[in-house]
Amino acid sequence: MTALHIQRGEALGASFLALYEAIKELNDHNLMFKPLLGDIKSTLDSIEPLIKETAEYDKELDCQDDELQNFTRQMEDGVDVIRKCSKVSPWSIYKKYKYANKLVELGKSLERLLDILKLHGIKDVKKTLVSVRNIETRVQQIDGNFGIQNNQSENIEGWCTVPEPPPLIVGLDVPLKELKMKLFKDEVYILVLTAPGGCGKTTLATKLCQDGEVRDKFKSNIFFVTVSKKPNLNLIVQELYQRKGSQVPDFENEVIAVSLLHEFLNQTGQNPLLLVLDDVWSESESLLEKFDEWKISNCKILVTSRFAFPRFGSPYNLESLNDEDAVALFNHSASLGDRSSHVPEDLLRQVVEHCKGFPLAITVVGRSLCGQPIEIWQKRVIEWTKGSSILDSDHDLLVCLQSSLDALEKKNIIIKECYLDLGSFPEDQRIPATALIDIWAESYKIYEDMFCIANLYELTNRSLATLIVTRKDSGEMDGYYTEHFVTQHDILRELAIYQASMESIEQRKRLIIDMSGDNFPEWWTEQKCQPINARLLSISTDGDFSSKWLNMQLPQAEVLILNFQSKKYALPEFVEKMDKLKVLIITNYCLLPAELNNFPLLGTLSNLKRIRFERISIPSISNVPVLLECLEKISLFMCKIGQAFSNCSIQLLDLLPNVVEMNIDYCNDLVELPAQLCDLVHLKILSITNSHKLSALPEEIGKLVNLRVLRLRSCTDLSELPDSVRNLKLLNLLDISDCFSMKELPEHIGEMCSLETLNMRQCSRLQELPASILDLEQLEDVICDEETEILWKPFLPVLQNIHITVVRDDINLNWLHKFPS
């Protein structure tokens, strides 16, 4: 990085240099924000040559761009943010999230600057503006052409006109009504209609443009522009003018095109105008940003895209077809007509079922089976049932979906890898975000949970997955993601599995096995002890599996995911030879916890760092002592753990010497936290949530002197905290939200001298706060409800640095979906 030559008036260059140096210095010494800092530095590297050009031509033009002046101020603010980031403690969850968000915003701001510099063509356009100062005159000359009558423009075919709809449209009556209601809202200027490729976004947009109420509102002022993956803005502007019946002079670059586009919308928008931008990709976000800046009255812009573009408001998500509409579309695509009676009803529905309500899949499969004998239909269903992919035989569908992955890879290869990992979980099941956090931490070294969640939002914005947050206080930044889940359309899961199967069994990075009964894949039964190099192994079995495993060698596997449906389950014997295994996730999809046999096999896994059990009955440690020397994190969800630590004569610290995080969620047989758990003195995070029968914590909890985070949220029977919590001198965050039975806080809570965040919403039985609250000098954030807010008012004159967030009840039914089906 060479120093910029700073001249008078080049404030942007000076601010850029200061920010670059600050980023570089922090990035060299700070691991906590390293991924974000790396992205920002990469953006700055791209901006540098354009900044130099800007400085030169700004001087020649003797002018200053207001837009760039705004970025100058943002860069100056960015330097201040960077300096504050260097002082954030790794265990200060609130500050980490606060400044991570600030870094994200700084990154977005710099990306917008880069887009503007590119869009304005700083290297070429500033030169153009030096020599062509009469652009406004040229635009004004065009204005005279706007007087052409509307009936003339209607005779011009093929220019930004609404395309013809498909011969049969099904399942879009309700979406059309909802989309129209949302578009007609006064506050909506840009509306994004989003869904994966092949779901019918263009068809719905076309149907909207032809709706009688829409045509009455916008009349002939409806323009339909296909933007596509590599948009040509010059061509788009020319087409718009042609559609209007105006003559457009030649123009040299996109800056003039943008100016003409703005002028066009201003003039045409004197009457209500609807502009549909169809098939917009993420590369065109800077163009949408221009529309958003203009906000021309009487103008509505509908964007269809695989990308949600959340910065432009809440998008409309188009869902898959229901069974009835799917069958209707299939009958049409397969040209069955009166011949449908020759196809058995159950066979037809089996074919349609494998299309998962995906319109493009239904259409291409229907066409491929059109006129084919019944035997071909039956063969196709049998192949799919045995694990063959619907993508194998339908090239059009594969190409459509593959393009989303290609764009993802160009954006960030790690995001693509994260998407492919989603195929490791069973069909039609919610994927716990915490399970993905464990996988991605060890697979891609993403050790900050918030970065994993950010990746899930990225996949959601690209219509490749859906992140669902069931917690009531979803806006809080406290690192609690137990109530975050991911869902995925079955076709998109199939795409992930298809991608994983492109290489031979021995060379796959992900080996995903779905078994029915004891029907092992043919390659597995024929395997001659040949090693498989997969880094991730996922095995799903149903209730008919006998737990009699065949041998397998996986010397490189770091992640093992086992999914089953039975009352008893045995770990595969080959697990003991998985020397590099770091993450073990075992999920039972039955209602009741299952017994886990072969538990001692885990003691052979010398590199195991993370365990997540769901609906598992944990055996007594006294009966099955297992030394897990490298284990750092344990997560237990809806498990039976009441007997696991009872009458334990073995020192728990000897078995789990390096555990720093323990999460216990929905374990309803937990009545009193075993005192033995308090021997794990290296614990830094202890989270016991939604364990409604938990009524007491042991006095020994004060032994956890390294604890930074203590979550007890939604432990509704817990009435008090032991006084020994005063010994938790390093605790940053205490969460007792929704502990309805909590009557008082410990008298000496003020001795928790590092406490920064206290969440006590819905602790309605608290009547007063202890006086030692005044000693909490590091306390910055208190989350409470209106009732408990009153308890703080007498202390606020002294505790002036405290920020109190009052959370009001958000009545919704998300909690109904907390339990994966």
Tell me: the pLDDT tens digits for 461-519? 888 899 999 887 766 778 899 999 999 888 889 889 988 888 889 899 999 999 989 98
Q: Which long-range contacts (CB under 8 A, 24 or more apart) does 781-789 make?
A: 781/94, 781/756, 781/757, 781/805, 782/757, 782/758, 783/473, 783/476, 783/737, 783/757, 783/758, 783/759, 783/807, 784/759, 784/760, 785/761, 785/809, 788/760, 788/761, 788/763, 788/764
SS3 496: helix
Could you tell me if 18 and 96 lie in one domain?
Answer: yes
Element (H, E) at 460: helix 449-461
pLDDT tens digits for range 127-170: 443 333 333 333 333 333 333 333 333 333 445 677 777 888 88
Contacts of 439 (CB under 8 A, 6+ apart): 421, 536, 559, 583, 585
Q: Is residue 701 within 8 Å of residue 680, measured between CB atoms?
A: no
Could you tell me if 149 and 117 lie in one domain?
Answer: no
Most confident residue range from 353-357, 534-538, 817-821:
534-538
The two tokens of residue 141 are: 């000359």
SS3 590: coil
Element (H, E) at 467: strand 466-469
CB atoms within 10 A of CB 293: 9
Could you tell me if 549 and 529 lie in one domain?
Answer: yes
Residue 3 maps to a domain: no
pLDDT at 751: 94
Phi, psi of 300 (to 5 degrees): -120, 135
Could you tell me if 374 and 470 lie in one domain?
Answer: no
Q: Which residue has the higher pLDDT, 280 or 85?
A: 280
SS3 658: coil
- Rg of the chain's alpha carbons, rounded to an integer? 30
pLDDT tens digits for range 682-707: 999 999 999 999 999 999 999 999 99
Would you say the C-alpha torsion 516, 522, 526, 530 has a positive or negative sign? Answer: negative
Q: Does residue 123 carry a pLDDT above 60? A: no
CATH code: domain of residue 432:
1.10.10.10
pLDDT at 420: 94
Q: Which residue has the higher pLDDT, 658 or 239?
A: 658
Give the helix, strand, coil percentages of the chain, each rounded to 5: 45, 15, 40
Residue 398 maps to a domain: no
Q: Which of 604, 633, 659 is the last residue of a domain?
A: 659
The two tokens of residue 72 are: 């100058």
Q: Which of 105, 130, 155 is the last residue of a domain?
A: 130
Task: Kindly give the pairing relationship between strand 484-487 and strand 431-432.
Answer: antiparallel
The two tokens of residue 37 are: 């800092």
Could you tell me if 633 and 764 lie in one domain?
Answer: no
pLDDT at 143: 37
> Is residue 810 very low, low, confident or very high in pLDDT (cuts 50, 70, 90)?
low
Q: Does residue 125 carry a pLDDT above 50? A: no
Could you tell me if 565 and 587 lie in one domain?
Answer: yes
Residue percentage of the chain with pLDDT more than 90:
37
Element (H, E) at 223: strand 222-228
Residue 393 maps to a domain: no
pLDDT at 536: 96
Could you tell me if 648 and 685 lie in one domain?
Answer: no
Q: What is the DSSP letter of 672?
A: B
Could you tell me if 701 and 613 lie in one domain?
Answer: no
pLDDT averaged over every residue in the chain? 82
Q: Is residue 100 within 8 Å of residue 36, measured between CB atoms?
A: yes
pLDDT at 386: 77
> What's the mean pLDDT in 565-593?
93
Q: Does residue 661 carry a pLDDT above 60? A: yes
Task: Kindly give the pairing relationship between strand 190-194 and strand 616-617.
Answer: unpaired
SS3 804: strand
Q: Which residue has the higher pLDDT, 119 or 469?
A: 469
The two tokens of residue 194 are: 């989003």
How far does CA 339 lie from the centroid of its chain?
45
pLDDT at 356: 86
In Å, what is the CA distance from 153 to each residue of 125, 245, 247? 32, 5, 12
Q: Which residue has the higher pLDDT, 262 or 555?
A: 555
Residue 396 maps to a domain: no
Phi, psi of 393 (to 5 degrees): -105, -5
CA distance 50 to 121: 9
pLDDT at 691: 92
For the residues of 238-304, what is the DSSP string, one character each? HHHHHHHT------SSHHHHHHHHHHHHHHHTTS-EEEEEEEE-GGGHHHHHHHHHH--TTEEEEEE
Residue 480 maps to a domain: yes
Q: Does residue 100 carry a pLDDT above 90? A: no
> Is residue 616 very low, low, confident or very high in pLDDT (cuts 50, 70, 90)?
very high
Bridge partners, 539 (sequence order): 513, 562
Residue tagged 């239904």 (tokens): 362
Q: What is the DSSP letter of 497?
A: H
pLDDT tens digits for range 309-368: 988 989 999 999 999 999 999 988 887 765 555 788 889 999 999 888 888 888 888 888
Could you tell me if 284 and 152 lie in one domain?
Answer: yes
Q: Does residue 811 carry a pLDDT above 90? A: no
> Is residue 252 very low, low, confident or very high in pLDDT (cuts 50, 70, 90)?
low
pLDDT at 630: 94
Residue 394 maps to a domain: no
The two tokens of residue 590 are: 């039955």
CA distance 352 to 558: 37
Contacts of 230 (CB under 8 A, 6+ apart): 283
CB atoms within 10 A of CB 639: 25
pLDDT at 474: 67
> What's the mean pLDDT in 510-538?
88
Task: Tell me which residue range forms the domain holding 242.
Answer: 134-317
Residue 499 maps to a domain: no
> Is residue 769 very low, low, confident or very high in pLDDT (cuts 50, 70, 90)?
very high
For the residues of 718-770, what is the DSSP string, one character each? -----GGGGG-TT--EEE-TT-TT-----TTGGG-TT--EEE-TT-TT-----
Spatial CA neighbour of 101 closest among 390, 565, 448, 589:
448
Could you tell me if 169 and 123 lie in one domain?
Answer: no
Q: Does residue 435 carry a pLDDT above 90? A: yes
Q: Does residue 68 carry a pLDDT above 70? A: no
Could you tell me if 235 and 259 lie in one domain?
Answer: yes
Residue tagged 């500033």 (tokens): 126
The total domain count for the chain is: 6
Could you tell me if 446 and 530 lie in one domain?
Answer: no
User: Which of these ranges, 228-237, 324-333, 653-662, 750-759, has the smallest mean pLDDT?
Assistant: 228-237
Q: Which residue has the higher pLDDT, 817 or 413?
A: 413
Spatial CA neighbour of 194 closest among 309, 353, 54:
309
> What's the mean pLDDT in 741-748?
92
Q: Which residue has the higher pLDDT, 273 or 228?
A: 273
pLDDT at 142: 33
User: Which of these ranges, 255-269, 278-292, 460-474, has the smallest mean pLDDT?
Assistant: 255-269
> What's the mean pLDDT in 62-84?
69
Contacts of 657 (CB under 8 A, 6+ apart): 629, 682
How far does CA 504 lie from the centroid of its chain?
30
> Is residue 558 very low, low, confident or very high in pLDDT (cuts 50, 70, 90)?
very high
CATH code: domain of residue 731:
3.80.10.10
Residue 395 maps to a domain: no
